[in-house]
Amino acid sequence: MDAYYASVEQRDRPEFKGKPVIVGGDPKSRGVVAACSYEARKFGIHSAMASSTAYRLCPDAVFIRPRFDMYRAVSTQIREIFYEYTDLVEPLSLDEAFLDVTENYKGMPSATIIAKEIKREIYRRTGGLTASAGISFNKFLAKVASDINKPDGITVITPEMADEFIDRLPIRKFFGVGKVTEEKMLNLGIKTGADLKQYRKEQLIQLFGKSGNYFYDIAHGLDDRPVQPNRIRKSMGKETSYKTN
């Protein structure tokens, strides 16, 4: 979902549409930013920032206390849309999930078509909330792709595109690379996926422990983790088409 908490607040309070909205704690106390609208992000505001800092960056911003019950309710509504296509849904948070649509209930042959349809349904049923989708052949690339064309975008990474995409990807964009790891990688001269590929697996394990295996694999586009659903699949089907009867 795009700027999820803030977008829900702008939906429910139309007077805040187009304005910098910050969902989080009181800027006059020790509160932090839980989420912010794209209008607020233009001022350099981001989640986990101190609310007082956000206020200094944008004194005209609208500060709103979180309504987690509402965010959970909308999240459930969105998830039910996912389940109309597949039970292989792995939630990452209230506003994000992996879907495996290789086999889907509607028999649709294209993940891109499914993503477009899901985005339309989310927009229609939630009263105007937008989502972005990343589509690829593994979880790592799909996750990274989902952040490329925000808001309200779709990014597809095919197997043929993967190497070039990873080579150009800034290391901070790699799923699983936090601030501390990013700093360590930058100190080693690792700025992009192409830089990361220069290291052997043994070297990365020596530098980053067991995470070295993961970094080596994703730098080479390897990620065989399945989508782990949090509910039992209702059914499964398989079809084989023959050239002749």
What residues does 154 pair with on adjacent strands?
A: 133
Place of tokens 């209702």: 234
Q: Which of 90, 96, 117, 121 is labelled catalytic?
A: 96
Over the Cα atoms of the chain, what is R_g? 20
107 with 235: CB under 8 angstroms? no
Q: How far is 235 from 73, CA to CA, in rounded Å?
A: 26
39 is catalytic: no
Place of tokens 């993503």: 115
What tokens were used for 88?
A: 């292989």
User: Residues with catalytic annotation?
Assistant: 96
